[in-house]
């Protein structure tokens, strides 16, 4: 029934177009203007992977004295050497800017997100801001790659401590860290990995938070456990090393099978919905492999995390990490994160909302400023994404379906791009050399970007209006808004909803800007502001016409999240996914993008890869696949008392700074510790049962 309706809608819209078609003058793109000069304030010290850490046994191990005295000596915990794996991950002192650290203190975070619960593996958000990054460890790790020499660029080992490829490149055997334990002392094994794969990635009823699906690891890929500590991947492609990036945050971070399995529908009477919600935010001491464990939660107030006594990483002197005994997260707003970090009542922020740049810079400039603020490259950018599914993803009604048909018209996307005055949009966020015009696609200034391959449909209202006339969108009732052609959505006004995240000032101002600029071309863009978690589920479900979106790391790094650069699978892309029947109605240029991305994944040849990404950028921008808006640099703000912050840490590259700074190695010299810990000398308790225990 639905299909028939859609087919009709599409056909009649096309009919409308050809009947009224006033052929607009061919609109030629230009190359984008060069972004204003903006130099990053510090550069990384580049090293090889083996300079950062290795896995090996040390002669002896140590931990905070209070842990030994209050927990080991009282028989409540085994000695630290028995809690660590036989060969822990050992960070090398030479790579630690301030060397071996001292225990204690807390990193006080402030966030605008809210936790849904701990079942990250079934799609629950913990509120972002690096909470999940601190809790869940993944097979590989990529945040710190910003400091790895280009010739050696490959994801860092993590839970997978080493791997080797078969001769033909179709099999990848991974060796997991042996003898590591979850934060409740339960052994971590390949069973945890297989449970994540079988019952989350492969189970179509479960969507892990960052959207891991079977295609995230390539069509036809299989995974099996050879023994407790060995897993084997089999790929249809040969040497698809790209998937090692997919095994990092957030697509391959397994959960504790011993806690999750009893609640999973395949092993219990629970429904999938009950499984998702089986570990609400009130569930304390959820077992993790990360350095800190949640021990306290108060809605709209705080999440506190204490050190994981089973953490499996140490420094070269054998001190068990993390150095910081506690992390906490004030549940406030993202703008407040900037304010508090600059003022010194918070310790960390990714300064990423340009509206607060001028004030933050002024306050950080004084000598007695509590925090260090350092700008990086232009890696934060926003796009306007249009829902490209014409065959039912998100179950659109008649109006929404008519919008989808428009979204799928190149002239329409060009018109929208040409109606946007990006200079004005950027200046409205912040004046100065920060924002740059962003045509869409790969960010200017990044490794794979090529200006000559970038088509820019810049601000030109007249041309935009002509294109819309040519599409048969005429204001038939004279109220200033163009109407759909007769027979399409009842010939009603073209009203398009713009889904935006209300938690960020920047998202809101961009959405408002779009609303105002669309009015100029007779399109009513209705801003639909939703809180982050709701916004995310509407996007996941395909229930949006347009969406204002802060780009993911694939547009910056290309190698992280590569599969998401195009709809390479039914559920991997931001704005074009399959309908319920699993059908993906790709336009010819989208198929071209898919082929380019797959070819990129399949070749290790660097020249070929660069060439492919030039093609990608050309096809993407010539077709205005999404409408780029603005691109600008962010700054990392960290309180000055913290040591071991790596030089030139970007707020966003392969991952967010919360991963890249390697928080488990950060420390505060004992003499500088201000006594901010909320639960000093306590450790996580029983899963689900108690909060911190002393």
The residues binding Ca ion (CB under 5 A) are: 475, 477, 479, 481, 483, 493
Q: How far is CA 179 from the centre of its chain?
A: 30
Q: Report the relative pairing of strands 106-111 and 326-331 from DSSP bridges.
A: parallel
Distance CA 320, CA 65 (A): 11
> In the complex with ligand GLA, which residue's Cβ is closer, 435 or 466?
435
Which spans in 541-587 are helix H? 554-557
Nearest approach in angstroms of CB 153 to ligand GLA is: 22
Write down the least CB distance from residue 505 to ligand GLA, Å: 12
Of Ca ion, ligand GLA, none, which one sits near residue 235, judging by CB under 5 to 8 A according to partner kind? none
Within positions 391 to 420, which residues make up the interface with ligand GLA, using CB under 6 A?
none
Contacts with ligand GLA in 88-147 (CB under 6 A)?
Answer: 128-130
Angstrom distance (rounded) from CA 629 to CA 425 = 8
Rounded to whole angstroms, the Cα distance separating 43 from 478 reads: 57
Give phi and psi for 501, each to the nearest 5.
Answer: -85, 115
Least distance (Å) between residue 380 CB and ligand GLA: 9
Site string for ligand GLA, 345-374 (x = CB under 6 A): -----x-x----------------------
What CA–CA distance (Å, rounded) separates 512 from 239? 46
> What are the backbone angles phi and psi of residue 224, rounded to the nearest 5°?
-140, 155
Print the binding letters for residues 295-324 with ligand GLA: x by CB under 6 A, - otherwise.
------------------------------
Element (H, E) at 600: helix 588-602
- Given ligand GLA, Ca ion, none, residue 130, with its beta carbon under 5 to 8 Å by kind, binds ligand GLA
Stretch 230-289 residues interacting with ligand GLA (CB under 6 A): none
Nearer to ligand GLA, 373 or 619 (CB): 373
Integer Cα distance of 52 and 665 in angstroms? 11
Whichever of 226 and 526 has its CB closer to Ca ion, that residue is 526
In the shown chain, the binding pattern of residues 422 to 461 toward ligand GLA, with x for contact by CB under 6 A and - for none, equals ----------------------------------------
Pick one of ligand GLA, Ca ion, none as the site partner of residue 347 (Cβ within 5 to 8 A by kind). Answer: none
User: Which pair of structure tokens corresponds to residue 84?
Assistant: 């660590």
> Whole-number minimum distance, CB 483 to Ca ion, in Å?
5
Q: Kindly provide the b/e burial profile for residues 534-567, where b requires at least 16 CB atoms within 10 angstroms of the residue's own CB.
A: ebbebbbebbbbbbbbbbebbbbbbbbbbbbbbb
Are 248 and 141 contacting, i.e. CB atoms less than 8 angstroms apart? yes
Q: Residue 477 binds what, of Ca ion, ligand GLA, none (CB under 5 to 8 Å, by partner type)?
A: Ca ion
Query: In this structure, what token pair is assigned to residue 632?
Result: 């600008």
658 lies in the binding site for ligand GLA (CB under 6 A): yes
For ligand GLA, the binding residue among 656, 662, 666, 684 (CB under 6 A) is 656
If one counts every other C-beta atom within 10 angstroms of the C-beta of residue 204, the result is 11
- Cβ burial of 50 (10 Å; 0-12, 13-18, 19+) is exposed
In the complex, what is the shortest distance from the CB of residue 691 to ligand GLA, in angstroms, rounded to a whole number? 24
Does 536 interact with ligand GLA (rule: CB under 6 A)? Answer: no
Q: Which is nearer to ligand GLA, 232 or 550 (CB)?
A: 550
Residue 517, H or E segment: helix 505-519
Q: What one-character DSSP code corresponds to residue 268? A: S
Nearer CB in complex with ligand GLA: 207/349: 349
Residue nearest to Ca ion (CB): 481
Q: How far apart are CA 58 and CA 280, in angstroms?
A: 39
Q: Is 381 helix (H, G, I), strand (E, B) or coil?
A: strand
Quick one: what does residue 479 bind among Ca ion, ligand GLA, none, with the CB cut-off 5 to 8 Å set by partner type? Ca ion
State which residue, 130 or 157, has the beta carbon closest to ligand GLA: 130
Instruction: Give the number of residues in contact with ligand GLA, rule: CB under 6 A.
Output: 8
Q: Which is nearer to ligand GLA, 658 or 677 (CB)?
A: 658
Identify what 493 binds: ligand GLA, Ca ion, none; CB under 5 to 8 Å per kind: Ca ion
First and final C-alpha spacing in the chain: 63
Torsion angle, alpha carbons of 220, 225, 231, 236, to 10 = -20
Closest contact distance (angstroms) between CB of 529 and Ca ion is 25
Residues composing the chain: 694
- Specify the 3-state DSSP secondary structure of 546: strand
Token digits for 253? Answer: 């971070």
Instruction: Give the Cα-Cα-Cα angle 624, 629, 631 (nearest 5 degrees).
Output: 120
Contacted entry of Ca ion, ligand GLA, none for residue 352, CB cut-off 5 to 8 Å set by kind: ligand GLA
Cβ proximity to Ca ion: between 492 and 673 the closer is 492
**Least CB distance to Ca ion at residue 522 (A):** 8
Pick one of ligand GLA, Ca ion, none as the site partner of residue 350 (Cβ within 5 to 8 A by kind): ligand GLA
* Least gap, CB of 554 to ligand GLA (angstroms): 15
CB-wise, 428 or 518, nearer to Ca ion?
Answer: 518
C-alpha distances in Å from residue 146, one per residue of 48, 51, 377, 651, 678:
11, 14, 12, 10, 33
Rounded Cα–Cα distance for residues 447 and 540 (Å): 29
Binding site for ligand GLA (CB under 6 A): 128-130, 334, 350, 352, 656, 658
């Amino acid at each position: 029934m639905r299909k028939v309706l859609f087919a009709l809608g599409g056909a009649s819209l096309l009919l409308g177009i050809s009947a009224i078609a006033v052929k607009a003058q061919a609109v030629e793109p230009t190359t984008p203007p060069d972004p204003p000069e903006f130099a990053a304030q510090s550069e990384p010290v580049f090293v090889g992977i083996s300079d950062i850490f290795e896995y090996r046994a040390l002669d002896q191990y140590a931990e905070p004295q209070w842990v030994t005295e209050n927990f080991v000596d009282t028989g409540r915990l085994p000695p630290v050497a028995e809690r660590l794996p036989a060969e822990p991950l050992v960070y090398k002192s030479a790579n630690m800017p301030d060397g071996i650290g001292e225990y204690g203190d807390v990193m006080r975070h402030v966030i605008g997100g809210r936790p849904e619960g701990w079942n990250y593996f079934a799609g629950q958000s913990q509120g972002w801001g690096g909470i999940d990054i601190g809790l869940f460890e993944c097979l590989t790790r990529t945040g710190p790659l910003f400091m790895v020499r280009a010739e050696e660029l490959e994801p860092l080992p993590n839970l997978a401590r080493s791997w080797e490829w078969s001769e033909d490149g179709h099999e990848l055997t991974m060796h997991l860290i042996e003898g590591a334990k979850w934060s409740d002392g339960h052994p971590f094994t390949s069973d945890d990995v297989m449970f994540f794969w079988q019952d989350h990635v492969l189970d179509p009823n479960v969507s892990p938070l960052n959207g891991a699906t079977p295609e995230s690891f390539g069509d036809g890929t299989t995974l099996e456990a050879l023994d407790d500590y060995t897993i084997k991947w089999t790929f249809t492609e040969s040497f698809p090393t790209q998937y090692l990036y997919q095994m990092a945050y957030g697509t391959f971070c397994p959960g504790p099978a011993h806690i999750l399995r009893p609640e999973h529908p395949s092993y219990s009477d629970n429904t999938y919905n009950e499984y998702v919600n089986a570990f609400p935010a009130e569930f304390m001491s959820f077992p993790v492999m990360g350095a800190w464990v949640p021990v306290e939660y108060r809605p709209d107030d705080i999440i506190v995390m204490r050190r994981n006594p089973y953490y499996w990483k140490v420094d070269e002197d054998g001190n068990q990490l993390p150095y910081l005994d506690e992390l906490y997260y004030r549940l406030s707003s993202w703008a407040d994160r900037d304010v508090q970090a600059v003022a010194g009542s918070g310790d960390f922020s990714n300064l990423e909302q340009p509206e607060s740049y001028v004030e933050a810079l002024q306050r950080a400039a004084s000598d007695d400023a509590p925090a260090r603020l350092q700008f990086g490259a232009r890696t934060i950018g926003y796009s306007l994404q249009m829902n490209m599914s014409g065959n039912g993803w998100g179950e659109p009604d008649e109006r929404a379906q008519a919008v989808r048909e428009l979204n799928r018209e190149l002239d329409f996307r060009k018109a929208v791009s040409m109606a946007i005055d990006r200079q004005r949009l950027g200046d409205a966020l912040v004046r100065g050399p920060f924002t740059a015009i962003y045509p869409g696609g790969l960010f200017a200034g990044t490794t794979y970007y090529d200006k000559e391959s970038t088509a820019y449909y810049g601000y030109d209202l007249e041309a935009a209006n002509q294109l819309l006339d040519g599409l048969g969108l005429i204001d038939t009732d004279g109220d200033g808004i163009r109407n759909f052609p007769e027979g399409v959505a009842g010939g009603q006004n073209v009203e398009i909803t713009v889904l935006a995240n209300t938690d960020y000032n920047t998202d809101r101002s961009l959405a408002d800007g779009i609303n105002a600029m669309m009015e100029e071309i007779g399109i009513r863009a209705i801003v639909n502001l939703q809180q982050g978690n709701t916004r995310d589920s509407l996007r996941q479900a395909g229930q949006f016409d347009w969406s204002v979106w802060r780009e993911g790391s694939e547009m910056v790094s290309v190698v992280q999240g590569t599969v998401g650069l195009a709809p390479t699978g039914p559920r991997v892309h931001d704005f074009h996914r399959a309908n319920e029947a699993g059908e993906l109605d790709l336009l010819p240029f989208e198929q071209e993008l898919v082929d380019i991305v797959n070819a990129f994944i399949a070749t290790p040849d660097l020249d070929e890869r660069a060439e492919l990404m030039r093609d990608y950028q050309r096809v993407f921008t010539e077709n205005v696949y999404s409408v780029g808006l603005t691109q600008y640099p962010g700054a990392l703000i960290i309180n000055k008392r913290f040591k071991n912050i790596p030089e030139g840490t970007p707020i966003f590259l392969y991952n967010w700074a919360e991963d890249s700074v390697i928080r488990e190695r950060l420390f505060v010299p004992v003499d500088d510790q201000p006594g901010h810990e909320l639960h000093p000398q306590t450790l996580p308790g029983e899963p689900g049962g108690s909060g911190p225990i002393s």
